[in-house]
Every structure is written in structure tokens, then in C-alpha cells.
Structure 1
Amino acid sequence: MTNRLADSLSPYLRQHADNPVDWQEWGPAALQEAADRDVPILLSVGYAACHWCHVMAHESFEDAQVAAAINASFVAIKVDREERPDIDAAYMTATTAMTGQGGWPMTCLLTPDGKPFFAGTYLPKPQFLQLLSAAAHAWDNQREEVLTSGKHIATQLAEAATRGTAIAITGDVTAAAVTTLRRSYDERHGGFGGAPKFPPSMVLEFLLRHHARTGDRNALTMAEHTCEAMARGGIYDQLAGGFARYAVDGSWTVPHFEKMLYDNAQLLRVYAHLWRVDQSPLAARIASETAQFIIRDLGTTEGCFASALDADTEGVEGATYVWSPDELREVLGAEDGSRAAALLEVTPDGTFERGTSTLQLLQDPEDETWWESVRAALLARRARRPQPARDDKVVTSWNGLAISALAEAAMILRETSWLDAAVTAADFLLDRHVVDGRLRRTSLAGRVGAAYGVADDYGNFGAALLVLHQATGESRYLAAAQELLTTAQDLFADESGGFRDAAADGEQLFFTPRGAGDNAEPSGTSSLAEALLALSALTGGTTARDRAETGLAAMGEIVSQAPRFAGWGLAVAEAVLAGPAQVAVVGEDRASRGLARTAWTAPSAGTVIVHGTPDSGSSPLLADRSLVGGRAAAYVCHGFVCRMPVTERDELLAELATR
């Protein structure tokens, strides 16, 4: 056999197209080949921006000795976890259950029918060769034990996947979640827990919404402190904007340098929402720079957004981004170089490796003009260095997150180009990623992949279309969202009341994972709950709201026990508890635009906003609502209770602040 990855639409799989390993993509043909040859499957799962995936590739998959051992005794299958999150989730659940930890690259050995009998992560070449030899021997000489082990693992995982008890997420539950979060809060550096430390994007959104609804200062303090610490740390690119995946330390100093679209999209929204609360220049700057990073560095020729920038540059992690004091002096001159080193925490010993440092901006520079010239000079020099590779794959779910964030930030910070970018991306997804009424998960260079969308693709893109409906006033986005969310309810309904991650009519794996909480991005259940709640608020329909609340209740157990891993579920619950507020601004003049801007910039626990005229037909919320005494007016409702219309900005703020 030969390596069959060259024509894949996944950049990660194509990275392995020249390996001597006879890789192929996951599919019926690969499983059938394992059955026909009567050999086990070697399943390797990773993603293009993953540092240790590259290390294992160089050490093992590019090695002739390892390739010979794999090809002789296994069918080798490569999976891009971002393209097939269903496969990744199933086998990651097995890996975590069998080893106590998970991560990528993920290495599993399977029976020909897909049941795992070994699972692990990164393996150095000597250990990997030992595993291959031992597994081949066991398959030939202890077949029944191997098959029994695989069957037992599958049975145990299926039994453990049963949903917990549904618990309604009340105001008492969200208040208790804030108290629980406080216990693990890092008072010194912000964030939760120790190293490695990930940006808690969804938890921050929950804290901001909880403060907007209740006025809880503890919630706001944790959000503000964490946002400032991340923005000033090495995890944030102080020159070009954008956040790295996580910090390997507890102080946000040393990042794992990959930059993911889903992280930056969620953080863009958080900083824009933080600005609504405190009007801080820092929040506005970080939101603006992050939006520019997404559009400039992740924008594709089709108008969507690429998945990630790699952690490595020519095999060296962080090589594009780190500096030494001598390098700063070389670029800026002796005086400015020393001054910049002191400002950016670039030390002789280094904060990273080999005497180099990440850049931190722990305090604002006194001379902003000087800093901008320094920043421009360092960016110009950095642009001459080798650059990290980019995963150009367009993921529906992550683009949905980016569309929502860009559209909301555009309305909050008054930057129309961000809204234009969001519209372009959404129109591409509607045109290419919706095939025969079903969402596809990915595309590359305009070619759509075969994998169907999972629950969070429908949830995050559906929610994005509803944000665009509010921001543009175009009814076509509302109609498209309604169609997708109706389909999603049929495809992903779960007997627990929540949503399964993969479609009921999709490929049946050895076990169907049911994500109980949020991870690095919203779960299928919480993302669909968000979209359905917004749909209900924008149309007045109660069925979608009931479905959203039932879905959230299915997350109630993890919300109560581990709120750090249910941040988006909690954020959506805050919107439910707040109504959510519905604002219909009637009019087409300057006064009506002022009222609409007031609504967009007011602190919010999930408010929906429409602006137009009653006869436009653009939104059900505008129907039968007229001007007041010939003047533009804002109609505010909370849930199913409406107030008298208001015509003044201060009156609207007072209505929105009512708890």
C-alpha cells in the first residue's frame, strides 16, 4: 500500500503525505482493509498547529524503521481532530479513561472494528517501537485477550456516558458558581488554577453577564483582573495582537505559541463586553488588536478565517516571537533598545529559552508615540524572520464564533470594517458549507469537505447568523438561522434533554461521546442552547426557549460541581435569567441610531437588539411598534414582560439596568 493523504483537504493530514508510513484517512475502506488483512489499526490523531504532533512526526513517522514496523503489522489511519471532532472525542474519552490524561498527538491501537485496546499520547521513538512490537505479538499470539479488552473498554465507556440528573440552572446556582470559582481563583495572576493556564474565555463571559444581571462585584473583579493579566502577559502578542493557546506557567509569561481562531474569537468578544462595563482603554485596545489579528493574519482568500497559526517555526517553538536584549538594541539602537527591554521584560537570562524572552507589557508606556515607533520597528524586523505555518482549513463552528465576535465588537466599538468581514464570512459559509440543507464541518481553498457538521457547528454558526440579523437588520440571516436550528434539533436531540455531539444519522463509532460540559470552546449543548434562546427572543417563539432551557438543565450537574468546565452554559443561563432583554428600536433617523448604539454599548446578560421600521418586515420584534409622538423609540421587554417605550438615552439605560 502507499500513503494516501496527498489529496486530503486537511492541512494536518497533508503534512504527513510524504511520510514512509502508509497513512490513509478514516473511513469504511480503511476499516475494511484492517479486517481483510486481519491486523489491528494504528490511529494517530492530532492537528496542524500542535507542537508535540510535529515532534512525534519527525522522530517516528518520518523514520524508515518505524514506518516498516507500522506498515507490516497495522493499518495506519491519520485523523485531524479539528475536521473530525466526533472521532477525536470518542478516542480521547478512551485515552483519558485508560491513562488518566489526554492530549495530542493521540496514539491508539484498535481492533479492526474500531475498539481501542491501547491508548496514549506522545511516545518517543524507542517506546513507540516497543509498543508496536508488543502489540503485533499480542495480536498474533493473544488475540482473544486483545479482543476481550477492546470489548470491555467499549462497554465501560458506554455505561459511563449516561447523562447525570437534569438540574435547572437558577439564580442560586449561578451565584454558587461564582463562589466556587472564587476558591480556585489566582489572586495574584488572575485566572483559575495553576500551570498550565488557559484563557478562561467562557467563564469570563459568564462573570461579566452575572455582574450585568446582579451587580456582583466579585464576579467583575475576577473578570477585570484576569483580562488585564492576560493582555499584559506573554500569552498576548504585544506587537501584532492575538492570544496564544495557553501559558505553560501560572503568570501568563510563557505561551504555547500556537494561535487558534476559536480562542481569539471568544476573547475578542470578552474584551468588547468588558469595555461595555468599564470603558477601559486597555479593553478597547485588546479588542481592536485581536479583531485586526483575526482579519489580517487568519483571513482567507474566500473571506473566511483560517483555523490556526502553528506553534513552531521551522521546527523551533516560538522562534518567530521571542527576543534577547541584544536583538532589541540591534533593531532600536542602544538607548531605545535598553528602554524597550525594560518595558517589555526582556532580560539577559531570558524568560523563555536560550536567553530569549517573550514580550510582556506590564504597564502602559509613558510615551505612546515612542512606543508605537518601537512596535513598528520590531514588527518590521520580526516580519523578516521565518514565520509559523498556517492551517488554512475553514471550520464552520470556529468561523461562527469569529462572525459573532466581529459583528458584536463592530457594533460596540463602531468599526464597520469588522462587520463587513463578518458578513463576508457568513455569506461564504451559507453558500458553500450548507449542502442539501446540512452543514459541512470544513473547507479548504473553497472546496468543502465530506464530514458533516457536529452540534457546535450548528450552534455557533446559528448564533452568528442571529447576531448578524441584529447588526445588519437583514431578515435573510434570521431565516437561515431558523432553518439550521430546526435541522439541528432533529439531528442532535438527546433523550436526556440535552444535545448529542454527533448527528443521530451519522457514522456510528465504537461509542458515542456525550460532552457534558464546555472545554476550549462551547459544547454542542451550550452552543445550541445559546442559539435557540436568541432565536426565541428574536421571534417570540416559546418552543425554542423551552428547548434551550431543557438543554441547559442537562448541564446542571457539571455546572454545580465544576463551573470552570461549564462557562458557556452558565453564560447562556444568565441570559435566560435576565429574560433575555429584548430591545426594539423604531425609527430611521439619527435619534434612533443613537438609541440602538446605547443598547449595544450597555452592559448585557444576553440582550437581543433590532433596529428598523415596523413596515420593513425585517424582524418580528418591530411589528406593530410605532414611533412615539413622531420620535424614535425603544421598546424593552424582559422575557415576556414589556415596558412602556422610551425615547431618551438615559431612559433606555435605566430600563436595561432594571434587575
Structure 2
Amino acid sequence: MSEPKRVEQVADELMQGISQTEIITKRSELKPSYTDTLLALIDNWQKHFDDRYGGLRGAPKFSMPESLRFLMDYAWSYNDTDVRNHVVFTLRKISQGGIYDHLGGGFFRYSVDEMWHVPHFEKMLYDNAQMVSLYAHAYKCFNDDSFKDIVYQTVAFLKREMMSPEGGFYSAIDADSEGEEGRFYTFLKDEVDEILNEDAELFSVLYGVSASGNLDGRSVLRSASTPKEAASVFGVGLEHAILKQAQLKQVMLKYRNSRVRPSTDDKQLLSWNALAIKGFVDAYSTFKDEMFLNLAIQTAKFIEKYLVNDNGSLSRVYCKGKVSVAAFLDDYAFLIEAYILLYQATYNERWMLKAKTFTDYVNAHFYCEKSGMFYYTNIKYGDTIVRKMELRDGVIPSSGAVMGHNLQTLSTYFLNDVYGDMAKQMGANISGQVEHGGPYIYKWAGLLLNSELGPAQVFSSGDKGKSMLNRVLAATHRPNVLPFLRNVKSEIPISKYTANDNMIRLCVGNTCKVPTSSEEQARSEINEARLYKQS
């Protein structure tokens, strides 16, 4: 065989090998239930739980926010207190550790140690957006005021340090400044003593500052003691310790801000900004603070102004006034998810109709009929050697799994069996990998969990219906709750369902409860519609 022919053969073999990675085949049989699969997944996953420090055993440790959200949903659905306790323990360990910025708010990328103490100091938009979602939902589930503080402080950081003049959010803040990683965020004990004088010891006890430090002689701040513990050590009242803590944080933050700052990656990515919308909407849904909703809508308007093209497609990157790169599946999937959430928060139907429009675009340009899954790249751009699929979840959920959730949700709102069948097929295709997938297949597992639960349709009508629904949903833990307002002129078919003015009705599957004017009763009915772990 001539050399050119051999090169062509090797190239063909290579392309065939690549094409078989991250590709999945269509299953012909759909299981009626995936409870056994989900229980096996959790049984395997629990073997890796870190009972001492939270998260998974070993280092480095990533916060993996959406995997923790899935575990919360699973724990609620199957009444699993062990998983529930692991999640809340992990959330507290993360927020107390050095992976959280205790002066400026926001989360660093990951911890280099198993205790969450010393981070890699890069701050990513996608981490912080997802952590806002996670801690907002966790507040609903666990009613821990420190989780509320985390949400507000992280959003304040995003507004202050990552928001662009155009209304979107930058991608990242670097780890290094002055040629040294973490220099901006860490302190020498002598520095703290000089800045805070007689209050230095109180601050040091609260935040773990020592002469030896925990990073090359410098201290990464962490929550080493509670105000109550510090008050006991110094013989002062609790209120005094809390007040002092707030004051000293501001003094140290002002000092830190005088340093040379790490540089900012000022690319604005559609997919990560869509995650920010989700974070803001989730915060609004929990706390009912209009500031969060305004940020979500502002970010959506940024995307629509700069990254939505006239032909109905999306672009991926906006940077320094220039738009570049055709959007991938994650850009579409995360934006569709954000639009659905905006509708559920506002009942403004234009958001839901946009979600459907982009879903139809994705179905036409990314769907693989042969496998029943989605490619990561658009069929319009045929210069990619091999079109691959995202089948594993990482720190960010896979775009294919998010698209499955979108189809599942939209199938109910639009009474669209085609969407529903597509979502079921995707779940069936991936189900064989879920049992042993652990924390790296959580979003797909969530698709199966939603299928087990079925959608809980919660709806109302009349002038007070919207506010009643919002108050009820703010205290609802159940996954897969789909709220809507009756509107006989709606373009969303489900919104034409009959509803009583100023009353709330719940339907799960083919069973509907009697409408009630009691918000407490409505919350109770929603929160009772769960699965239970088999003995």
C-alpha cells in the first residue's frame, strides 16, 4: 500500500474511532420505572461520600453544585435522611472553607485540599451562578440563614466585580496578581495585626489567621470560629462579636481592594450568562427580592441584544464589542432553561414562547434521529471532523441532559407528546450508565427522577393568583413543579385549563386535588407528593 493510501486509511480509522466516543445508541425498550436504577446510583455514590469534610473523598475538591442539587431532590423524593444530611453538611463545610471568599463574597474554582481550606483562586462565572442557585434552593430546604447570606454576598460580588456595562457578566477573574497565585486574597499575620491593632486577635480567631499561615506563610481566610465561640473566648457579648465581625470584614476588604487586582477575563459567554439568569431567578423564587429578578431580566436582554442573530440562531461569545463563534448546544440548552424559569417566575408568556422557538431550532439543527440524542455542534457548520455528544456531567451539567429536562418540561406546558417522547427516549438511552455514573451523571439522573415523580402542575387564576402561587412555590421543595396562570387567550395550551379565581389547584399525573384558597394547604399538598424509598 502506498504511503498516501496508508495515511488516508489511518485517518479514516481515527475518525471512526473518534465518532464512536461520546455517542450512544437508541434503546428500543423504555422501562416503566427507574426507581431501582436511582437507588443503585445512590448506593454506589454514597460509598464515596466524605463523612469528615463533606463532598467526595480526596482532593482536589470541586463544589459540583448541580450534583448537590440532584442529591437534595433525590433525598426529598425518597425521604432519604442520610443523603439529606450529607448535603447540608457539605454545604456548610464549603461555605465555611477557604473556597468561599469571606471578605468579598463569591466562590473560588476548587479546593486543593480535602478540607476546602485552600482554593485555586480563580473565580468563574459558571461556578458562582450555579452556587447562587444551589444555596437559594438549600435555604428553602434547610432554612439556614447562613445560606441566605451566601446568596446575597455572592450576587453582590457578581454585580460589583463581574458585571459588564452592557449588562452581561464576564467569564472569570484570574487567580494570580503580582506574579503570585492568591496574593490578592491572602494575608500575613503581621499585616492583620498592623491593620486591626487591638481587634486583630478577634479577627484572627474568627478567620483562622496564624503566624505560620496555611499557604506559604500566608493565611487563606476561612470560618474558623463562630461569633458565639469567639465571644466566649474573648469574654464579650454575642451581639458585640457579630457587630465587630461585620466591621472588621469591611476594614480588611477596603485594605484588600488597595492591592493590585487579578485581571478579569472579559469574554461574555452566552451559556454562562444563561446560568447566571438561572441563579438570579432561583434566588428571586426563594427570597422574592425584585433585585434578583431585575438582574435576570437584564442579563436576558443583554443576550438578546448581542448574541441572538437575525436568522434565529445564536452566537456564543461577546467581547470588546465583537461577536464571535457559532453557538453550541450548551448555549441553546441553558438559554432555553433560563427562559422557562423566567416564565415560571413572572408568568410573562413571551419567555416560554422563546423557549419553544429555540427548542424547535435545536431539534432541527442538533438532533440525531438515529440515536435519539443531541449533538454538541450545529449541523449547519459541517467543518467539524466528528460531531460529538455530551454524555457526562461535570462541574457544569452536560448540554444533552439539560436539553432532556427542557423537552420534559415543555412537553407538559405545550401538551406536546413529541417533546415528551424525545425526553423519555433520552432517559432510556442513558439509563444503563446512570447506575454506576455517580456524581458525573447527576443531570441525567435528575431526568429519570422527574420521570418517576411526574410533573406537579400548580395553577391559579384571578388578580391574586400570581402572588399566591409565588408564595406557595417559595416554600416548596418538590422537584418538577410546573406553575402557570390560567389565560384563555394563551399560546401555551396548558394555560387554558380551567382554574378558580384566587384559588390554587394541584394536579399530579391524572389526579387533581380540589382547588383551595389556603396557601398552607397548597404547600402541604405539593410537599406530600413524593416517592418513598423501598425497604
TM-score by length of structure 1 reads 0.74
1:504 Cα deviation after fit:
2.2
Contact 1:497 1:550 in 2 (8 A): yes
| Greater RCO, 1 or 2 (C-alpha within 8 Å, sep 6+) | 2
Contact 1:307 1:392 in 2 (8 A): yes
1:199 Cα deviation after fit:
0.8
Contact 1:205 1:571 in 2 (8 A): no
| 2:91 pairs with 1:227 | yes
1:585 Cα deviation after fit:
2.6
**Matched ranges for 1:86-125 at <5 A:** none
**Matched ranges for 1:163-202 at <5 A:** 163=24, 166=27, 170-202=34-66
Deviations 1:21-80 (CA, angstroms, capped at 9, x unpaired) = xxxxxxxxxxxxxxxxxxxxxxxxxxxxxxxxxxxxxxxxxxxxxxxxxxxxxxxxxxxx
Match in the other structure for 2:283: 409
The change in CA–CA distance for 1:594 and 1:162 in structure 2 (over 3 A counts) is closer
1:636 to 489, 503, 506: 506
User: CA–CA distance in 1 between the matches of 2:509 and 2:121?
Assistant: 43
- Of residues 284-293 and 240-249 in structure 1, the stretch that sits farther from structure 2 once superposed is 284-293
User: CA–CA distance in 2 between the matches of 1:161 and 1:462?
Assistant: 23
> SS at 1:320's partner residue?
coil
| 2:84 pairs with 1:214 | no
| 2:230 pairs with 1:357 | no
TM-score by length of structure 2 reads 0.90
| 2:469 pairs with 1:581 | no
The change in CA–CA distance for 1:423 and 1:525 in structure 2 (over 3 A counts) is same
Contact 1:463 1:534 in 2 (8 A): no
Contact 2:189 2:210 in 1 (8 A): yes
User: CA–CA distance in 2 between the matches of 1:143 and 1:377?
Assistant: 69
The change in CA–CA distance for 1:277 and 1:153 in structure 2 (over 3 A counts) is same
Match in the other structure for 1:555: 430
Contact 1:181 1:192 in 2 (8 A): no
Match in the other structure for 1:482: 356
User: CA–CA distance in 1 between the matches of 2:79 and 2:159?
Assistant: 34
User: CA–CA distance in 2 between the matches of 1:149 and 1:315?
Assistant: 45
| 2:487 pairs with 1:607 | no
> SS at 1:225's partner residue?
helix
Match in the other structure for 2:255: 381
Percent identity (aligned) = 27
1:617 to 480, 483, 490: 490
Match in the other structure for 2:521: 651
Contact 2:62 2:110 in 1 (8 A): yes
User: CA–CA distance in 1 between the matches of 2:8 and 2:395?
Assistant: 34
User: CA–CA distance in 2 between the matches of 1:624 and 1:154?
Assistant: 51
- Output the amino acid matched with 1:247: S
Match in the other structure for 1:501: 376
| 2:186 pairs with 1:346 | no
User: CA–CA distance in 2 between the matches of 1:621 and 1:362?
Assistant: 51
1:596 Cα deviation after fit:
2.5
- Output the amino acid matched with 1:349: S
1:453 to 327, 330, 335: 327
1:307 Cα deviation after fit:
0.9
Deviations 1:481-517 (CA, angstroms, capped at 9, x unpaired) = 1100111111111222221111223243333332221
The change in CA–CA distance for 1:295 and 1:638 in structure 2 (over 3 A counts) is farther
User: CA–CA distance in 2 between the matches of 1:325 and 1:405?
Assistant: 36
User: CA–CA distance in 1 between the matches of 2:364 and 2:152?
Assistant: 38
Match in the other structure for 2:19: 158
Contact 1:459 1:530 in 2 (8 A): no
Match in the other structure for 1:39: none
Match in the other structure for 1:393: 267
Contact 1:455 1:525 in 2 (8 A): yes
- Of residues 426-435 and 152-161 in structure 1, the stretch that sits farther from structure 2 once superposed is 152-161
The change in CA–CA distance for 1:228 and 1:147 in structure 2 (over 3 A counts) is farther
Match in the other structure for 1:532: 407
Contact 1:456 1:522 in 2 (8 A): no
> SS at 1:428's partner residue?
helix
1:306 to 170, 173, 180: 170
1:185 Cα deviation after fit:
0.6
Contact 1:610 1:619 in 2 (8 A): no
| 2:421 pairs with 1:546 | yes
User: CA–CA distance in 2 between the matches of 1:510 and 1:502?
Assistant: 11
User: CA–CA distance in 1 between the matches of 2:87 and 2:487?
Assistant: 39
Match in the other structure for 1:463: 337
Deviations 1:553-579 (CA, angstroms, capped at 9, x unpaired) = 332233122221112222233223221
Deviations 1:87-114 (CA, angstroms, capped at 9, x unpaired) = xxxxxxxxxxxxxxxxxxxxxxxxxxxx
User: CA–CA distance in 1 between the matches of 2:225 and 2:511?
Assistant: 46
1:614 Cα deviation after fit:
3.2
Contact 1:525 1:552 in 2 (8 A): no
Contact 1:635 1:642 in 2 (8 A): yes
2:385 to 495, 507, 510: 510
- Output the amino acid matched with 2:257: A
Contact 2:458 2:507 in 1 (8 A): yes
Contact 1:586 1:622 in 2 (8 A): no
1:293 Cα deviation after fit:
2.0
1:257 to 121, 138, 147: 121
User: CA–CA distance in 2 between the matches of 1:296 and 1:277?
Assistant: 28
User: CA–CA distance in 1 between the matches of 2:246 and 2:23?
Assistant: 55
- Output the amino acid matched with 2:17: Q
Contact 2:187 2:218 in 1 (8 A): yes
User: CA–CA distance in 1 between the matches of 2:453 and 2:118?
Assistant: 38
> SS at 1:603's partner residue?
coil
1:145 Cα deviation after fit:
9.2
User: CA–CA distance in 2 between the matches of 1:394 and 1:293?
Assistant: 17
Match in the other structure for 2:238: none
User: CA–CA distance in 1 between the matches of 2:484 and 2:321?
Assistant: 32
1:429 to 277, 297, 303: 303
1:266 Cα deviation after fit:
1.2
- Of residues 488-497 and 377-386 in structure 1, the stretch that sits farther from structure 2 once superposed is 488-497
The change in CA–CA distance for 1:620 and 1:337 in structure 2 (over 3 A counts) is farther
1:149 Cα deviation after fit:
6.6
Match in the other structure for 1:273: 137
1:616 Cα deviation after fit:
6.6
Contact 1:474 1:618 in 2 (8 A): no
Contact 2:340 2:352 in 1 (8 A): yes
User: CA–CA distance in 2 between the matches of 1:528 and 1:544?
Assistant: 10
Output the aligned Cα RMSD.
2.3
